[in-house]
């Protein structure tokens, strides 16, 4: 009996070992399949990624090119407006200079005439009243022409800031001419400063327009690599001539 039990034990152990070996191999195979599937799926996704990446990159380039084109168009309009503003300021500065030059010439001429002795007139109340009337009339006429400000006219009428109606009209005319000259010089200096600032703004706007135009052109070319390779050697930078040459200078420097 013991021999029969030993015989069954010895024959059953190899069979059990074979079964367990088969089960272990099957388990390892299934595990290998499960581990390998994500890698295969990842490989498929990786194979599809370049296409999606290229499409996404092209979409980004399109959006960027559109945005830069809009910015370049806006910068070009700003450059034109600022150039027009500078031209207006330049014209105002030229007119102010001409007015100052005329006033300076008149003041010099009257100063030369003042070197001669003033005609002698009787020092009577009527004479002083006549001199005052002449001064008031000359000052008001200068104010109407824009040569004297309202405050300066008030100073004349109130006998302030050195205005003395008792002086001879020849002397008063010299003082009035110098006052007009000084005011016109101040007006020209103010106009020249406005022109300088307008020119600076126009120059900055022109530089920004040139930069954005070049960037918009480069962004457009980035969407057409084939066109770049065929025509890069012959195609110049597509920046408008009005933008390329938009470096302006004031006609007169203070």
Of the chain, the percentage scoring pLDDT greater than 70 comes to: 64
Domain boundaries, the chain: 2-119+168-244
In whole angstroms, give the CA distance from residue 31 to residue 88: 84
Listed range (144-153, 187-196, 241-250) with the worst mean pLDDT: 241-250
The average pLDDT across 216-229 equals 70
pLDDT band with cut points at 50, 70 and 90 for residue 195: very high
pLDDT, tens only, 89-142: 999 999 999 999 999 999 999 887 655 555 666 778 888 888 889 989 999 999
Q: Contact, 153 vs 143, CB < 8 A? A: yes
| Angle, helix 169-222 to helix 125-144, in steps of 10 degrees | 10
In whole angstroms, give the CA distance from residue 128 to residue 38: 114
pLDDT for residue 84 is more than 50: yes
């Amino acid at each position: 009996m013991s021999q029969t039990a030993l015989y069954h034990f010895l024959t059953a152990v190899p069979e059990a070992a074979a079964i367990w070996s088969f089960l272990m191999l099957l388990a390892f195979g299934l595990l290998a399949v499960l581990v390998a599937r994500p890698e295969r799926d990842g490989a498929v996704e990786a194979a599809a990624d370049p296409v999606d990446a290229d499409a996404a990159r092209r979409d980004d380039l399109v959006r960027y090119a559109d945005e830069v084109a809009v910015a370049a168009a806006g910068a070009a309009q700003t450059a034109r407006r600022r150039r027009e503003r500078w031209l207006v300021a330049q014209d105002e500065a030229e007119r102010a200079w001409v007015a100052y030059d005329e006033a300076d010439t008149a003041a010099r001429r009257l100063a030369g005439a003042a070197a001669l002795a003033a005609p002698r007139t009787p020092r009577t109340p009527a004479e002083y009243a006549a001199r005052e009337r002449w001064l008031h009339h000359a000052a008001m006429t200068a104010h109407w022409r824009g040569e004297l400000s309202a405050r300066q006219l008030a100073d004349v009428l109130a006998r302030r800031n050195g205005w003395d109606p008792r002086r001879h009209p020849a002397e008063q005319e010299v003082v009035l001419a110098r006052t007009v000259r000084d005011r016109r010089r101040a007006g020209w200096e103010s106009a020249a400063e406005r022109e300088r600032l307008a020119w600076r703004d126009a120059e900055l706007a022109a530089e920004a327009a040139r930069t954005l135009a070049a960037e918009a052109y480069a962004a457009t070319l980035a969407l057409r690599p084939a066109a770049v390779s065929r025509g890069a050697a012959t195609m110049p930078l597509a920046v408008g001539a009005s933008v390329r040459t938009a470096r302006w200078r004031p006609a007169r420097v203070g």
